[in-house]
Amino acid sequence: MVYVGSLVAALPHYSKWSSFGISVFGTVGILNTMLGATERLDKKQAEAYGDDAAYKAYVASSAKLFI
């Protein structure tokens, strides 16, 4: 949310389309990296705690990238 918010907040200050494009590319890149890391961590946690009822409740009540 921080990266997307920063991109949106800076919209009025882009003087060229190229700088906007680079910013969008960077934001998409970091979000892709974060989603990939989240997937890997979810897989590890499921292997370690997959049978725990409290873990299952936590997974059911939370969303990716947000607490």
Q: Tens digits of per-residue pLDDT, 28-57? A: 898 899 889 988 998 999 999 988 999 889
Q: How confident is the model at residue 10 (pLDDT cuts 50, 70, 90)?
A: confident
Q: Is residue 23 part of a domain?
A: yes
Does residue 25 fall inside a structural domain?
yes
pLDDT on residue 47: 93
The Cα 18–Cα 23 span in angstroms is 9
Residue scoring higher pLDDT (65 or 48): 48
The yes-or-no verdict on residue 24 having pLDDT over 60 is yes
Angle 42-54-44 from CA coordinates, rounded to 5°: 20
Number of domains composing the chain: 1
What is the domain range of residue 25?
A: 2-6+16-61
Position 31 in a domain:
yes
In a domain, 11, yes or no: no
Tokens of 64: 């990716």
